[in-house]
Amino acid sequence: MLACQAAKYEHPMDEQSGNQREGGAPRQDSPPVISLVQRGNLKSLEATLRKQWRLGQNIVLCWSADERGLLVILVPHYFLGNYCAHPGEDGSDNEHFVRELISGTRRKSRDELFAIAARLDIAPSFIKLDHSLSEEHAVQDSVEQLIKRYGISYVDCRAVLLFDIAQFSLFTPFEQASQLNSLSYSMNSAYNKLQAKGVEVNFARTTTGDGYYVWNRDTGPYANQDLFTFLLLVVADNAVARAASHGNTVPVIRSAYHAGSHYELYQAEGVNPTVFSYIVGDVTIDLARMVDLAQPHQILVGDFSTLVRQNVEGELTDTKLTAPAFVKHCSSALEVVRGVQLSGKSIADMRCSLSGEDDVGERRAARRFRITDKHGLSRHAYNLEINIGFADGQLHLGLDSEHLGVDSGQAEMAGGEAATRPATSVDESIDDLASLLRKRPSGRMSED
């Protein structure tokens, strides 16, 4: 099980978005103004970084302010891999050192930067600017973003979504384009609906070809919770759109939510780095393996633990929750979506739970499933169910326990297809095997 920790802040607001959590209304702060002199500094800095970046040959690790400009540490793109492959001269973990170096803020003190350069055996580079950099937050933040665009970042824990379109390869190119556009619209629609309720999900996405990885750029104490609420509205919007659509223009999706570590980078696009980031790491690998064995309409939640900010007896406290407790916490906070419009109907109530928690009888704990991938590696996940109440009825999303295809840890499910009757002849056996090879991924899902 992954252990994740969110950043802690003194004020109950998201670090970057500035959304007020107590009271519900978003702040409308004006963006800070950067002077013409500092804009010139930033423009000159980016021009120099682009030259030293050399189409992706080099990456920037960190920087330090100087009276006449900046000191930066640049290394070839292959340097970090070679450096992390061996322990330090004193036996220290070089990979841990690099992860700490490329996590969080990249600005270092002058002494710290030279100590880092000495350990890496790399000479710092000097970038001359016409004027000294201002210590204003807006200027410093702009420098940080520039440095990250020309480097690589490591995030120890972040929630990420994966939306995957079922049977995507069987559709025509026009239908594929329509389905991707429809899924993208559902995300934009969910964003706008949450924003109107005072919840700003600063989401980023990157395509997988037949779906999207989605994450919250913000890393505040409510970021993971907000992304989970975002997931629920995207799934709901997709379901409503599909019910009203004709043909194959709206996709049937399978979804997964997980939290873990990843690297973030900006790939080269022509002669410049893109302004959109890409992520890769343990969390994206786990999501891909989970969704690979999910059934159409199914929503999986990974096995993780993370810090969330809760109101305990009138005081805001950061508490580490496991995945089942996290889902319960998020479900209890879904009052925020009341009144949101779905296909002209207002949401009167929304709640979600993991399969098994609402069972009648002795079983009350969430059912946990073991997913074994094609490499024989295992990970755990839970099945999520969503119930949305309207004035005239209920909408159930996700798969309920009866349709999971997993029987109390004995039956196995691969690719969402249950085992069929035994073959009665050699020809039928060959046909069944060929069908399995075509339809089923080389992995399995079973109940723990």
Q: What is the pLDDT along the chain (448 residues), one digit of tens a residue?
A: 555 644 433 333 333 344 445 434 444 455 678 899 999 999 999 999 999 988 888 999 999 999 889 999 999 989 999 999 888 777 779 999 999 999 989 999 999 999 999 999 999 999 999 999 999 999 999 999 999 999 999 999 999 999 999 999 999 999 999 999 999 999 999 999 999 999 999 999 999 999 999 999 988 889 999 999 999 999 999 999 999 998 899 999 999 999 999 999 887 666 666 667 889 999 999 999 999 999 999 999 999 999 888 887 788 888 899 999 999 999 999 999 999 999 888 999 999 999 988 665 555 788 999 999 888 889 999 999 999 999 889 999 999 877 786 544 433 333 333 333 344 455 554 555 454 444 445 677 777 6
- Least Cα distance to 211 among 194, 187, 232, 193 occurs for 187
| DSSP count for the chain of H helices, then E strands | 10, 21
Domain match, 179 and 296 both: yes
Q: Is residue 142 part of a domain?
A: no
Domain match, 20 and 74 both: no
β-bridge mates for residue 351, sequence order: 387
Predicted pLDDT of residue 2: 54
Range of the domain at 237: 2-25+156-447
Domain match, 386 and 260 both: yes
Domain match, 407 and 387 both: yes
Q: CA-to-CA distance for 339 and 346, rounded, in angstroms?
A: 5
Q: Which of 135, 165, 184 is the C-terminal boundary of a domain?
A: 135
Q: Which of 135, 164, 189 is the C-terminal boundary of a domain?
A: 135
Q: Is residue 229 part of a domain?
A: yes
Domain match, 240 and 100 both: no
Q: Is residue 192 part of a domain?
A: yes
Predicted pLDDT of residue 313: 78
Q: CA-to-CA distance for 432 and 434, rounded, in angstroms?
A: 5
Axis crossing angle, helix 173-196 with helix 223-244, rounded to the nearest 10: 130
CB 216 within 8 A of CB 202: yes
Only one residue has tokens 């839970």, namely 382
Q: CA-to-CA distance for 336 and 193, rounded, in angstroms?
A: 10
Q: CA-to-CA distance for 295 and 317, rounded, in angstroms?
A: 37
Axis crossing angle, helix 223-244 with helix 323-332, rounded to the nearest 10: 70
Dmax (CA) of the chain: 83
β-bridge mates for residue 176, sequence order: none
Q: Is residue 74 part of a domain?
A: yes
Domain match, 378 and 442 both: yes
Domain match, 273 and 320 both: yes
Domain match, 214 and 82 both: no
Domain match, 269 and 355 both: yes
Q: CA-to-CA distance for 83 and 87, rounded, in angstroms?
A: 8
DSSP conformational letter for 344: T
Predicted pLDDT of residue 359: 60
Helix (H) or strand (E) holding 282: helix 282-292
Q: Which of 76, 103, 135 is the C-terminal boundary of a domain?
A: 135
CATH number, position 203: 3.30.70.1230
The sign of the dihedral angle between the CA atoms of 184, 56, 153, 106 is negative
Q: Is residue 430 part of a domain?
A: yes
Domain match, 261 and 404 both: yes
Contacting residues for 139 by C-beta, under 8 A, at least 6 apart: 34, 38, 41, 42, 133
Query: What is residue 398's three-state secondary structure?
Result: coil
Q: Is residue 146 part of a domain?
A: no
CB 251 within 8 A of CB 268: no
CA distances from 195 to 27, 200, 201, 229, 337 (A): 11, 5, 7, 12, 11
CB 83 within 8 A of CB 120: yes
Q: Is residue 265 part of a domain?
A: yes
Domain match, 59 and 173 both: no
Predicted pLDDT of residue 84: 92
Predicted pLDDT of residue 312: 78
> Taking the model in full, what pTM does it have?
0.83
Q: Which two tokens stand for residue 9?
A: 């802040």
Domain match, 420 and 323 both: yes
Only one residue has tokens 């739970």, namely 353
- Position 390, amino acid: F
Query: What is residue 323's three-state secondary structure?
Result: helix
Query: What is residue 228's three-state secondary structure?
Result: helix
Domains in the chain, number: 2
Q: Is residue 369 part of a domain?
A: yes
Q: CA-to-CA distance for 62 and 55, rounded, in angstroms?
A: 19
CA distances from 106 to 6, 9, 71, 115, 147 (A): 18, 19, 12, 14, 8
Q: CA-to-CA distance for 397 and 131, rounded, in angstroms?
A: 57
